């Protein structure tokens, strides 16, 4: 598929403006030239009529007296005008008595062929005809003596001066059109740049903001709609930057998935209480109180930060979300906020990976005397998930008896042990990378029946590489 040719907006604007200017100027020019032609023709007719009537009013006595010299002088004077091709006077018999071309005197007058009536008024007839490709006007005015026609004045006028004047007018109009067009193109380009440059800046701003550069500002010193649009884009970028800052800062205290949902739909039903099946994981440091007493405060803070970062990252990588920190314990939930049909298996894999990374963590904590050891408890079952708390402090969490069971298993777990309930065991039993060892039954406060527990053991081939 051919890619459409991209034409900048200033080019389009200039072309459209130029075409509009040419169209308007051409229309006006055509109208002006038509009016000029009519005016020049009317002026020529008025001139011919005046000359014809002048000759007719000054020749009756001379014609009756057959005074050829005065008649010749009369028509000769009229013919001196450049527009007059010939002038003549004929008697009542049609014989030429005087002619601007003296050689034609005495001949019978023969009018031009194929004349076309142009105008007739008060005995004056105006006709048009062509000769040798040139247009002429023929004026015929009767010579009267005591209201009796005794002859006729004939004037032939050329229209080439009309065409000459029209040509001059056309040249002037063309020059004026060219000047207006050039000025219009220049002005249209200035206007197009005046509008296209801000649009380009706005486009660049939108592109930068789309890339996540919320610090980008568009600077338009304009007090119009484009300026308003620039301000709106800057406000949008500022709002997005603020949202990003809130998301980043808030995400340090609340899991990123919860932040996303709160920002997307803060009043949605997902924040209300609902009953669902999930897997709860607790990770707790063994002997943390004694370890903290033997270490400096900054060392304890460094230890906890490294430990919390490790456990949190692993929980998130396996599709769970961090619910809370309780002292030195970490609570993770699988299958509640993020749907996961295999939430039990994800939780157990996360627990195994936490245990596998403890040696590496202990190597980094050079200032801690004793290595960190953890106890991990996991339980699967129905819980109540929702946005709990007060008007001043709320959190999305899960509560219920199954959460207490997971916490109790964590308390029972020895150093680097992973204890799971029977409900979790039945869901991960088919995982060939794991082996399990029964730890019998325990009594849980608030439960009538004891809970069967199992310890998670890694198969030897999988201790070095967990897929």
Strongest mean pLDDT among 31-35, 90-94, 228-232, 365-369: 90-94
Q: What is the pLDDT of residue 166?
A: 80
How much is the average pLDDT of 118-143? 91
pLDDT confidence of 188, banded at 50, 70, 90?
Answer: confident
* Secondary structure in 3-state letters for the chain: CCCCCCCCHHHHHHHHHHHHHHHHHHHHHHHHHHHHHHHHHHHHHHHHHHHHHHHHHCCHHHHHCCCHHHHHHHHHHHHCCCCEEEEEEEECCCEEEEECCHHHCCCECCCCCCCEEEEEECCEEEEEEEECCEEEEEEEEEEEECCEEEEEEEEEEECHHHHHHHHHHHHHHHHHHHHHHHHHHHHHHHHHHHHHHHHHHHHHHHHHHHCCCCCCCCCCCCCCHHHHHHHHHHHHHHHHHHHHHHHHHHCCCCCHHHHHHHHHCCCCHHHCCEEEEEEEEEEEECCHHHHHHCCCHHHHHHHHHHHHHHHHHHHHHCCCEEEEEECCEEEEEECCCCCCCCHHHHHHHHHHHHHHHHHHHHHHCCCCCCCCCEEEEEEEEEEEEEEEECCCCEEEEEECHHHHHHHHHHHHCCCCEEEEEHHHHHHHCCCCCEEEEEEEEECCCCCCCCEEEEEEEECHHHCCCCC
Please tell me the predicted confidence (pLDDT) of residue 291: 80
Give the model confidence (pLDDT) of 133-181 as tens digits: 889 999 999 999 988 999 999 999 998 888 888 888 888 888 887 887 7
Alpha carbon distance 122, 132 (integer Å):
31
User: Helix, strand or coil for residue 312?
Assistant: helix
250 confidence band (pLDDT: 50, 70, 90)? low
Q: How confident is the model at residue 462 (pLDDT cuts 50, 70, 90)?
A: very low
- β-strands 417-421, 329-334: how paired? unpaired
Residue 254 has pLDDT above 60, yes or no: no
The reported pLDDT for the residue numbered 76 is 92
**Residue 417: pLDDT above 90?**
yes
Q: How far apart are CA 405 and CA 394, in angstroms?
A: 24
Q: Is the model's pLDDT at 185 over the cut of 70?
A: yes
Q: What is the pLDDT of residue 50?
A: 92
From 3.30.70.1230, 3.30.360.10, 3.40.50.1980, 1.10.3720.10, which CATH number describes the 266-462 domain? 3.30.70.1230
Domain 9-165 falls in which CATH fold? Beta-Lactamase (3.30.450)
The domain limits of the chain are 9-165, 266-462
Task: Quick: pLDDT tens for 23-32.
Answer: 887 888 888 8
Predicted local confidence at residue 395, as pLDDT = 76
Confidence of residue 41 (pLDDT cuts 50, 70, 90): confident
Q: What is the rounded average pLDDT for all residues in the chain?
A: 84
Residue 117 has a pLDDT of 93
pLDDT at 464 over 50: no
Lowest average pLDDT, out of 73-87, 127-141, 284-298, 401-415, goes to: 284-298
β-strand 434-442 against 451-458: which pairing, if any? antiparallel
pLDDT band of 467, cuts 50, 70, 90: very low
270-304 pLDDT tens trace:
556 788 999 999 999 998 878 877 878 888 888 88
pTM for this entry = 0.51
Per mean pLDDT, which range of 22-31, 77-86, 95-104 is the poorest? Answer: 22-31
Predicted pLDDT of residue 266: 60
Average pLDDT score over residue span 438-443: 89
Alpha helices in 365-438 (DSSP H): 401-412, 422-428
| Percentage of residues of the chain with pLDDT beyond 90 | 36
Question: How does pLDDT run across 213-227, given as a tens digit for each residue?
Answer: 888 887 777 777 777
CA distances from 456 to 46, 374, 428, 464 (A): 122, 14, 10, 16
């Amino acid at each position: 598929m051919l890619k459409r040719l991209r034409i900048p907006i200033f080019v389009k604007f200039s072309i459209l403006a130029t075409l509009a200017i040419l169209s308007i100027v051409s229309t006006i020019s055509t109208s002006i030239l038509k009016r000029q032609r009519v005016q020049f023709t009317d002026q020529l007719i008025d001139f011919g009529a005046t000359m014809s009537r002048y000759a007719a009013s000054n020749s009756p006595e001379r014609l009756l007296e057959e005074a050829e010299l005065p008649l010749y002088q009369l028509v000769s004077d009229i013919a001196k005008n450049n527009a007059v091709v010939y002038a003549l006077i004929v008697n009542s018999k049609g014989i030429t008595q005087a002619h601007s071309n003296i050689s034609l005197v005495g001949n019978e007058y023969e009018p031009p062929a194929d004349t076309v009536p142009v105008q007739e008024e008060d005995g004056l007839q105006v006709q048009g005809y062509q000769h040798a490709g040139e247009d002429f006007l023929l004026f015929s005015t009767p010579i009267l003596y005591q209201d009796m026609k005794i002859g006729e004045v004939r004037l032939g006028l050329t229209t080439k001066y009309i065409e000459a004047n029209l040509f001059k007018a056309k040249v002037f109009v063309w020059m004026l059109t060219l000047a207006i067009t050039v000025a219009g193109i220049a002005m249209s380009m200035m206007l197009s740049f005046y509008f296209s440059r801000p649009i380009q800046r706005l486009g660049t701003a939108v592109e930068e903001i789309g890339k996540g550069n919320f610090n980008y500002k568009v600077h338009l010193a304009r007090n119009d709609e484009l300026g308003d649009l620039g301000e709106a884009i800057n406000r949008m970028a500022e709002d997005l930057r603020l949202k990003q800052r809130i998301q980043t800062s808030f995400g340090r205290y609340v899991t990123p998935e919860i932040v996303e949902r709160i920002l997307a739909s803060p009043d949605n039903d997902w924040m209300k209480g609902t009953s669902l099946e999930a897997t709860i994981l607790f990770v707790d440091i063994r002997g943390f109180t004694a370890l903290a007493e033997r270490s400096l405060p900054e060392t304890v803070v460094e230890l906890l930060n490294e430990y919390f970062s490790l456990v949190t990252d692993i929980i998130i990588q396996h599709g769970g979300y961090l619910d809370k920190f309780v002292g030195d314990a970490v609570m993770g939930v699988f299958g509640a906020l993020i749907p996961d049909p295999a939430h039990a298996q994800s939780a157990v894999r996360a627990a195994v990976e936490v245990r596998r990374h403890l040696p590496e963590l202990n190597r980094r904590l050079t200032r801690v005397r004793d290595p960190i050891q953890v106890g991990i408890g996991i339980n699967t079952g129905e819980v109540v998930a929702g946005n709990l708390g007060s008007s001043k402090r709320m959190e999305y969490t899960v509560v219920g008896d199954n959460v207490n069971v997971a916490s109790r298993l964590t308390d029972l777990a020895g150093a680097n042990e992973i204890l799971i309930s029977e409900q979790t065991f039945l869901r991960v039993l088919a995982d060939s990378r794991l082996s399990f060892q029964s730890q019998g039954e325990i009594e849980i406060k608030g439960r009538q029946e004891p809970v069967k527990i199992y310890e998670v053991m890694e198969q030897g081939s999988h201790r070095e590489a967990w897929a």
